[in-house]
Structure 1
Amino acid sequence: MNRRGSGVLLHVSSLPSAYGIGDLGPAAHRFVDLLAGAGQRYWQILPLNPTCPAFGNSPYQSTSAFAGNTWLISPEQMVADGLLGPGDIENPPGFPEDRVDYQAVMNYKNSLFDRAFAGFKERGADFHYKEFAAENVSWLDDYAIFVALKDRFGGKVWGDWPSGIRDRHEEALRKHGTELADRILREKFLQYVFDRQWRALKNHCRERHLQIIGDIPIYLTYDSVDLWANPGLFKLDEYKKPAFVAGVPPDAFSATGQLWGNPVYNWDAHQQQGFSWWESRIDRTLALVDRLRLDHFRGFVQFWEVPAGDATAENGRWVDAPGRDLFTLLARSRSCLPIIAEDLGYITSDVHEMMAHFGFPGMKILTFGFSGDVARNPHAPHNITKGCVAYTGTHDNNTVRGWFEHEVPGDQKDLIFRYIGGQVGADQIHRILIRLAMLSPADTVIVPMQDILGLGEEARMNRPGTTEGNWEWRLRPEQAGEQAMREFSEVTGIYGRW
């Protein structure tokens, strides 16, 4: 990413579709064409892993670090691939165009999946399915039986399952595996369909010279197959419940810190295994995307662990993590590590030193750049350096317009006006910040689609600290045309990012 370029942040679920949620079908391929036609080099997405209602449908709280999100499977592409008939998808329910109704999507797609799976069993597994299952056996078998067991035990977290299957005794695994064989095969089949559709979309990106930037959350949710299958790699107690959980310490913004609740890694065990689990996770993600953003990069240097059961993060402690050893091992056996380090918030010098050592670019957010001492604010456009990725905002921020309308006080607006040399309204501020990002020295600029369109806070993707209404925003069909990208394309060319 050391040549000037730009791209757009839009998760797959936000694409237009007649089937309730953005998917990997025709609209995704058209979006790739739209980006390529506008001179863009990158399409940044959020994690592709499974989502579920128990975690607010967040792609950052998944049941698997390796599996794909089957709700993103395209019904149209299933028809094109002969897995469904045209009549099977002729009359979808009246889904809302601008939001994802996850429960309605799940109900509808499960009925399609059942129909496709019945046909798959009748025909018998073909060579391509068998090849996929063999190549991904290291995670696929465990994931498929985990999903089946979750159904069998009424959605209980795995730590509350009967001890035999909780502890993965061979006899219990064999018994449940036999009894749930059909359900297990269905999940493997759906993972195969997801993989097939995703690879077709990725190949289309490659043909259009567009790279995909993916995302890896550093932590996993407790109720995931990764913890059930690898409990020794996490700090769990004798009953396989978390002994410590992740968070961040008290600061100026929170007197009690932030308690995230995710289990923390047993890094000693990872080192003893030669970081094989992390190596597999990175390789699996890079098989799906071209570059990846590592969330909460600081956690690879030091992490804040809090005793499980604490109500706040106040009694935690900093623990060293062997990130340098991990990335040294990864770099030794690969020609490059196309990693972007999410280095937002309070970052210590040792984190920046490790980023510099491995050549990982960090992130700069323009909406962070107009507070405090702007002359020295590292996110202010004039301080952005070449070796970074500049954003107007991310999925966790308000849109630029929403930020300006609802979060910027009057004195800060005056500062912004002095900085840009004149007053602008809320309907123009997104254009100004996009230009400031594009003309900056940053090698790469990524702009959320909401900011390209100048949308307000109603189009926000996520509100950290809240559990409802997130991850639902969708691009309406009329917003995904060439007119929306025309000005963005012109700015891309003017500032040398084609």
Structure 2
Amino acid sequence: MKLQRMSGILAHVTSLPSPFGIGDAGNSALNFLNFLEQSEQSCWQILPTVPTCEHFNHSPYMSNSAFAGNPLLISPESLRDDGFIYDDDLNDHPSFSPFFVEFEKVCQFKEKLIAIAAANFQWEDSSCRKYAADFNRFIKTTKWLRDYALFMTAKEVFNQAVWNQWPEDIAGRNKKALDAFAAEYRDRITYYNVEQFLFSMQWKRLKEKADEKGIQLFGDVPIYVSYDSVDVWVNPNIFFLDKETFKPVSVAGVPPDYFSKTGQRWGNPLYNWQSKSPAIRKKIYDWWAARLAHTFEMVHISRIDHFRGFESYWAVPENAETAETGEWLSGPGIRFFDAMKKRLGNINIVAEDLGIITSEVEELRDRTGFPGMKVLLFAFDGNPDNAFLPQNYDTANCIVYTGTHDNSTAVGWYFEEDRTDEDRQQMKSYVNGNLGDNHQVHRDLIYLAHSSTAFLSIIPLQDALGFGNDCRMNTPGTTEGNWKWQCSSEYLTGEVSTFLRETTLRFNRGRKTPETPLS
């Protein structure tokens, strides 16, 4: 990755303004690209774009597929413009809040539209049939699609039961049984095929528009997948599961850290890195290579969430209620990244190296050459040697954030009850400010981030707007109220754009043009 000074905004697609209850890959995203362009931003960082589910409160980090696209991100307006639905279909929707995503209402509306689109696509005289050749090509070339469609259909047929509770021949992937199942439920299989084709088509257009504007899409790859996913169903041998029940023996998490006093028990199955079988290790590498290749078809840069898990990972007993008990086990280390580079060439990976980071993790990050992350909200503890303070960045090969989607907003952090005046004054002193000057805390931190030596400065949209913790995206260790924040269009003003542009240019982070690519 070229170390050109630049800046960007962190805002998940779901958080963008939309009249349809949730941001999408159509006009919502295109309008936001225009805002970024006007604001001289070079990057747009998003959260994972995989499907989400009600059971996990629509967390993008617990998906039923590591490859599929989230159907909630499909644009109704683009469906209409492409002839998959009509004006009456588009206009027949409930009223939605402009401030938070009402997932239940949004899911019902989007599922209805996709069902209409799939039905219209089967009609020979429909205008959307012009995409038939593209659809057939997508079906033939998308290797993961058949399994995804089968998995999602089986979830419906078997009342959303976890896959290891399905009939034995389906859970065990008997070919004859799967072929018969696919024939019996052909219409639902088609529905999911069309769903993913629509997502793929719209996302491809979005990426092309970002390329035209010289804006890098910055994605996110969760290191782990959900147990109840097509990935585990299809590839049980690459995960650490009980050989008879196929249930996890241990699950993923982290011990107590910055984010949670009791640690985080994520519950994801662990990869079978401890296996002595070369065949299993090869299967893990094959799966990861395919996953990363797919990721970089969609984005230009991608963070690997919980990068430290490749050096060592916290294995929590499956029956433990919290992540306070567990053990560190060795990950694949540099061998994994050497293998990925050999297969895929140079890829723009960012190492999420927050939490409990050892010298061994730092050594792995440095050997890969991947930039790490610096978070300003972690910097103000009174320790002048704090690694998150800008003067302590020992390399430009890092990305500085005011905050991430997992912690308070800048304004929320500043006014939290347990924040001391010493904390506040330390922060203010770094921008030559006074404790009583509280009206632009967020802009103080943006100034500090942009002025740092880090080659990339990323600002959450909430911090660009000066919003408090009522607009926080996620609180680790909790399950309610997360992932719902949505920005109303009225807040993306010319004044905000002007501030971002002027601050970005002041610190030589101006937008790079398509003629001078970042990678």
- Give the TM-score band, short-chain normalised: over 0.9
Among 480, 486, 494, the alignment partner of 1:474 is: 486
Partner of 1:377: 386
Name stretches of at least 5 consecutive residues in structure 2 with no aligned partner. 511-519
| Helix, strand or coil at the partner of 1:464 | coil
Among 130, 135, 147, the alignment partner of 2:136 is: 130
| Helix, strand or coil at the partner of 2:68 | coil
Bigger Cα displacement from structure 2, 164-173 vs 407-416: 407-416
Partner of 1:262: 268
Partner of 2:411: 401
1:417 maps to 2:428: yes
Q: In 2 relative to 1, CA 273–346 (structure 1 residues): closer, same or farther, beyond 3 Å?
A: same
Partner of 1:433: 445
Partner of 1:215: 220
Bigger Cα displacement from structure 2, 104-113 vs 57-66: 104-113
1:329-408 equivalences in 2 (<5 Å): 329-373=339-383, 375-384=384-393, 385-406=395-416, 407-408=418-419
Partner of 2:517: none
Bigger Cα displacement from structure 2, 399-408 vs 434-443: 399-408
Q: Which amino acid aligns with 2:205?
A: A
1:68 maps to 2:74: no
1:105-124 equivalences in 2 (<5 Å): 105-123=106-124
Q: Which amino acid aligns with 2:76?
A: P
C-alpha distance in 1, partners of 2:433/2:192? 57
1:320-331 equivalences in 2 (<5 Å): 320-331=330-341
Residue 398 of structure 1 deviates from its aligned partner by: 0.9
C-alpha distance in 2, partners of 1:312/1:398? 22
Deviation per CA, 1:165-220, whole angstroms, max 9, x where unpaired? 11111222122111111101100101000000000011000000000000000111
Q: Which amino acid aligns with 1:344?
A: L
C-alpha distance in 2, partners of 1:253/1:438? 24
C-alpha distance in 1, partners of 2:41/2:324? 44
C-alpha distance in 2, partners of 1:9/1:336? 24
Contact kept? 2:293, 2:344, Cα under 8 Å: no
Q: Which amino acid aligns with 1:85?
A: Y
1:99 maps to 2:100: yes
C-alpha distance in 2, partners of 1:409/1:48? 38
| Helix, strand or coil at the partner of 2:24 | coil
Q: In 2 relative to 1, CA 258–14 (structure 1 residues): closer, same or farther, beyond 3 Å?
A: closer
Bigger Cα displacement from structure 2, 71-80 vs 34-43: 34-43
Q: In 2 relative to 1, CA 209–419 (structure 1 residues): closer, same or farther, beyond 3 Å?
A: closer
Contact kept? 2:15, 2:23, Cα under 8 Å: yes
Bigger Cα displacement from structure 2, 57-66 vs 478-487: 478-487
Q: Which amino acid aligns with 2:495?
A: Q
1:179-328 equivalences in 2 (<5 Å): 179-237=184-242, 238-249=244-255, 257-267=263-273, 268=275, 270-273=280-283, 275-328=285-338
Residue 225 of structure 1 deviates from its aligned partner by: 0.5
| Helix, strand or coil at the partner of 1:445 | strand
Residue 133 of structure 1 deviates from its aligned partner by: 1.2
Contact kept? 1:18, 1:92, Cα under 8 Å: no
Q: Which amino acid aligns with 1:415?
A: Q
Residue 92 of structure 1 deviates from its aligned partner by: 2.3
Among 437, 454, 461, the alignment partner of 2:466 is: 454
Contact kept? 2:46, 2:218, Cα under 8 Å: yes
> What root-mean-square deviation, in Å, do the aligned CA atoms of Structure 1 and Structure 2 show?
1.7
Name stretches of at least 5 consecutive residues in structure 1 with no aligned partner. none
Contact kept? 1:405, 1:426, Cα under 8 Å: no
Deviation per CA, 1:441-486, whole angstroms, max 9, x where unpaired? 0000000111111111111111111111111111101112333211
Deviation per CA, 1:381-439, whole angstroms, max 9, x where unpaired? 22233110000011011110011011522232233233433315432111111001001
Contact kept? 2:301, 2:348, Cα under 8 Å: yes
C-alpha distance in 2, partners of 1:208/1:425? 37
Contact kept? 1:452, 1:485, Cα under 8 Å: no
C-alpha distance in 1, partners of 2:319/2:12? 34
TM-score, normalised to structure 2's length?
A: 0.92
C-alpha distance in 2, partners of 1:185/1:18? 28
Deviation per CA, 1:254-277, whole angstroms, max 9, x where unpaired? 675432211100123652337100
| Helix, strand or coil at the partner of 1:364 | strand
Bigger Cα displacement from structure 2, 83-92 vs 414-423: 414-423
1:442 maps to 2:442: no
Residue 306 of structure 1 deviates from its aligned partner by: 2.2
C-alpha distance in 1, partners of 2:29/2:192? 24
Deviation per CA, 1:363-391, whole angstroms, max 9, x where unpaired? 00011110141x11111122233110000
Deviation per CA, 1:304-351, whole angstroms, max 9, x where unpaired? 112221233344221111131111011124441200000001111111
Q: In 2 relative to 1, CA 200–350 (structure 1 residues): closer, same or farther, beyond 3 Å?
A: same
Partner of 1:144: 149
Q: In 2 relative to 1, CA 334–250 (structure 1 residues): closer, same or farther, beyond 3 Å?
A: closer
Percent of aligned pairs sharing the same letter: 44
Q: Which amino acid aligns with 1:235?
A: F
Q: Which amino acid aligns with 2:420?
A: P
Partner of 2:168: 163
Residue 69 of structure 1 deviates from its aligned partner by: 0.1
C-alpha distance in 2, partners of 1:255/1:475? 30
Q: In 2 relative to 1, CA 154–426 (structure 1 residues): closer, same or farther, beyond 3 Å?
A: farther
C-alpha distance in 2, partners of 1:274/1:416? 44
Q: Which amino acid aligns with 1:325?
A: R
Count of residues in correspondence between the two structures: 496
Q: Which amino acid aligns with 2:298?
A: L
Contact kept? 2:238, 2:271, Cα under 8 Å: yes
Contact kept? 2:376, 2:401, Cα under 8 Å: yes
Residue 76 of structure 1 deviates from its aligned partner by: 0.2
Deviation per CA, 1:212-231, whole angstroms, max 9, x where unpaired? 00000011111111000100
Q: In 2 relative to 1, CA 118–255 (structure 1 residues): closer, same or farther, beyond 3 Å?
A: closer
C-alpha distance in 2, partners of 1:15/1:314? 36
Q: Which amino acid aligns with 2:32?
A: F
| Helix, strand or coil at the partner of 1:122 | coil
Q: Which amino acid aligns with 1:422?
A: G
Partner of 1:493: 505
Bigger Cα displacement from structure 2, 21-30 vs 187-196: 21-30
Contact kept? 1:404, 1:429, Cα under 8 Å: yes
TM-score, normalised to structure 1's length?
A: 0.96
Bigger Cα displacement from structure 2, 84-93 vs 126-135: 84-93
Q: Which amino acid aligns with 1:102?
A: F
